[in-house]
Amino acid sequence: MDRVALRGLKARGHHGVFPREREEGQTFIVDLVLGLDTRPAAADDDLAKTVHYGIVAEEVVAVVQGEPVDLIETLAERIAQACLKHEGVQEVEVCVHKPDAPITVPFDDVTVTITRSRA
């Protein structure tokens, strides 16, 4: 399976279990790896035979900016399901970063990574 990756998609969302997170929001960063067969698109040089990663990026940002959830695990699942709606995408790996998580000790990042497929 071939891979199309989008790294560092940034969007502001209001996800989290604490009232402050819901009220003020914070930046989330999303990395995606889409699994699909790119041979038909390459053979015909045809965008319609692959995934339009610009559209995927817009949809992912809309999910992050959309309805708040408590857990980034839930957010990752919603993003994965949006990606799998694209014809040809057989598998997706989603990594959601929450670099401003409310943690009381020094840290660089918090991530949740999931892999989902049509099967």
Candidates 10, 49, 85, 98; catalytic one = 98
For residue 49, indicate whether it is catalytic. no
d(CA 5, CA 93): 9
| DSSP symbols for 33-51 | EEEE--HHHHHHT-GGGS-
d(CA 117, CA 87): 12
- Name the residues annotated as catalytic: 98
